[in-house]
Structure 1
Amino acid sequence: MRSSPRERRESGRARDRPRPRCVIRVAPLAALVGVTAIWGVTFVQVQDAIALYPLFAFLAVRFAISALALAPFAWRAVLALPRAGLVAGLGVGLLLAGAYGFQTAGLDRTTVASTGFITGLYVVFTPLLALRLFGTRVPGVAWVGVVLAVVGLLLLNGVPGGSALGNVLVLVNAVLQSFQIAAMERFAPRYDPRALTFLQMSASSVAFAILAVALGQVEVPHGSTVWGALLVTGIFAGALGYLIATWVQARTTAARAALAFTLEAPFAALFGVLLADEVLGWVGWAGCAVMLAGIVLAEPAAADVLRRVVGRRTSS
């Protein structure tokens, strides 16, 4: 049955009507939370894989798979980039590779708890760098969220300790991650996210391949455990995850992106409990709750949605 001209006009107005502002603002945050969940679930897989396969070789192959997965969708965008865009994408990719490298080197010399907590300090460094380098205004409520995120990380991982050298290396990783997130806030709105993500994955793969060769870690991947981890981290955590993250960072601030990224730690803890039979304890769960509170406080749109949902339930 055909619709009348009036019905078609009303339908067209409904399609053209802008979405509620809270939905538009919450969508990037929800996408980032989804990405951090993907990254969190891969911790168990990667832990099993690097027990069987050299670490830097694993990272080189992982990022190579990410680049190959993106290539069919990104090559035209890469060719269309100006020289400044190419430099930006490769530079941010090297920051990403450097962060992974220093984190791994530090993990060899200090405890897992120290590595997790010190890495999480990029939540503090990112808004400071964005403010210093690009003049990005950081809302006061975001600083409250930063404090809560740091407290949550401390509860989740325990008081940091271990080797002083290892802690310094992990601290360098946190600084590099902060630069990477702040740089993406600067460049993501300017260039195609497919091109930027492809360049980041390619630069990281080449950097880790050089490290693997230099350290004698060249080895052909083998076994279902290794290949399963490579495919999941390469395609979902790498290509898809960073593509979504790049898209989102064009639509939110560096401070809020860094806060959302901290959810990677509680997601990793959750999947560790569910998939690897690890014991988190009440302190760890409290850390997850405090970090989530930091996200809600730092993202006004999420807080608005939460208040509306609670309001509907209490009024019904």
Structure 2
Amino acid sequence: MMEADSKIRHFFMNTLALPQPKSLLLLSDLALLLVAVVWGTSYGVAKGALVFYPVLGFLAVRFILTLVLLLPALWRTSALQRRDAWRTGLPLGGLMLGIFLCETLGVAHTQASNAALLISLCVVFTPLVEWWLLGRRPAQAMWVFAGLSLLGAALLSGGLVGTLGLGDALMLAAAVLRAITVCQTAKLTRHSRAPALALTAVQAAVIGFGSLLLALCLPGGLPPLPQASAFWQASLYLVLGCTIFAFFAQNWALQHSSPSRVALLTSSEPAFGALFAVFWLGESLSLSGWLGGGLIVLAALWTTLRRA
């Protein structure tokens, strides 16, 4: 009887136990794939919103709204957690401000499909940045992947036959900054006690008020807020899906995975972004553009199979 009771207790303890590491890894992988879908559509949605408002004003609206929604999560934390959130979130928020400035300005000056494909170069850049920042030497094959990706970027942007466009160059800069941010997030959050939502709130504050300050420093400042419902619908989608959910999921996943795995699992983002831009926005790519985009996605998938 005692043995039976012991087996029953063991069964319920296992059933009600917290997820084991493998379960957490699977959950983080699924969350990151959903992030890839949401982020893939964000370029087309942002491009539509920029028709109504300038880049800096749009970023200020997007991220100050995000901060307002996340303030309760920040204030519910303990003093130690809040201190860690600010200590970690300030430098990461500065990096994210640079990313979103490059990305949003890039989207304004190139096709949404180009933006979605070029930003995926961070998949190949991340292992190289890991080597630079964290001392983890990449496999020799990574240089092949990097070469294929850069060839694809050149074909996509017309760089082989002309000059690299401003928008495409900004997206390349954003890809490098993304790779740096992934590694720095993993490094700075490893021993941080800040909850993911609180950290996201601090990052949103840095991006939102940083964009507003930059806008106010420019001659003429900002125009009045737009009244178009399309602008506010796009902003709400980006706030709830592409910022709150995506930032939270990435910050949480980085506590249960490696930077390369996080970057690699979001490598499907360019495919979703290009398809959304072509079928929803009616954009078109030339034959060399499709070939270049295919090389970028192929390098990302190849890297995924090799490193994941």
Q: Which residue of 2 aligns with 1:247?
A: 252
Name the counterpart of 1:12: 12
What is the RMSD of the two structures over their aligned residues, measured on CA atoms? 3.7
Aligned match of 1:297? 305
Say whether residues 1:199 and 2:202 are aligned partners.
yes
Q: Is the 8 A contact 1:93 1:203 kept in 2?
A: yes
Q: Does 1:257 align with 2:276?
A: no
Q: Deviation at 1:152? A: 9.8
Cross-structure match for 2:176 = 175
Gaps of 5+ in 2: none
Match of 1:210 in 2: 213
Q: Tell me the residue number matched to 1:52.
A: 52
Structure 2 match to 1:233: 238
Query: 1:74 aligned to 2:77?
Result: no
In structure 2, distance between residues paired with 1:278 and 1:167: 16
Q: Does 1:185 align with 2:186?
A: yes
1:86-97 equivalences under 5 Å are: 86-97=86-97
- Number of residue-to-residue matches in the alignment: 296
Rounded Cα–Cα distance in structure 1 between residues aligned with 2:78 and 2:19 = 32
Contact 1:118 1:174 in 2 (8 A): yes
Report deviation, 1:178.
2.1
In the TM superposition, residue 122 of structure 1 has moved relative to its aligned partner by 2.7
Q: Is the Cα–Cα contact under 8 Å of residues 155 and 286 in structure 1 kept in the other structure?
A: no
Deviations 1:46-69, CA, capped at 9 Å, x for gaps: 222111222211111101111122
CA distance in 2, matches of 1:174, 1:289: 14
Give the share of equivalent positions with the same residue, in percent. 26
Contact 2:53 2:226 (C-alpha < 8 Å) held by counterparts = yes
Give CA deviations for 1:138-193 in whole Å, capped at 9, x if unaligned: 5x498389559837964994554545766654443333222211111112222222
Q: 1:211 is aligned with what amino acid? A: L
Counterpart contact for 2:264–2:304, Cα < 8 Å: no
Query: Counterpart of 1:132?
Result: 132
Distance in 1, matches of 2:17 and 2:140, equals 31
Distance 1:42 1:114, change over 3 A: closer
- Report the Cα offset of residue 195 of structure 1: 2.2
TM-score, normalisation: structure 2: 0.78
User: 1:275-294, aligned counterparts within 5 Å?
Assistant: 275-279=280-284, 283=291, 286=294, 290=298, 293-294=301-302
C-alpha spacing 1:238/1:152, structure 2 compared with 1 (3 Å): farther
The CA distance in 1 between the partners of 2:98 and 2:240, in whole Å, is 21
Deviation at 1:262, TM superposition (A): 3.3
Residue 150 of structure 1 corresponds to: 149
Aligned-pair CA distance for 1:16: 6.0
Match of 1:39 in 2: 39
Distance in 2, Cα, partners of 1:213 & 1:288: 38
1:92-107 map, 5 Å: 92-106=92-106
> For the residues of structure 1 that align with 2:155 and 2:242, how far apart are their CA atoms?
23
Q: Verify the 8 A CA contact 2:117 2:296 in the aligned structure 1.
A: no
Q: Tell whether the 8 Å contact from 1:120 to 1:153 is kept in structure 2 after alignment.
A: no
Cα 1:189–1:253 shift into 2, 3 Å: same
Contact kept, 8 Å, 1:152 with 1:291, in 2: the verdict is: no
Q: Return 163-172 or 205-214, whichever deviates more.
A: 163-172
SS in 2 for 1:276: coil
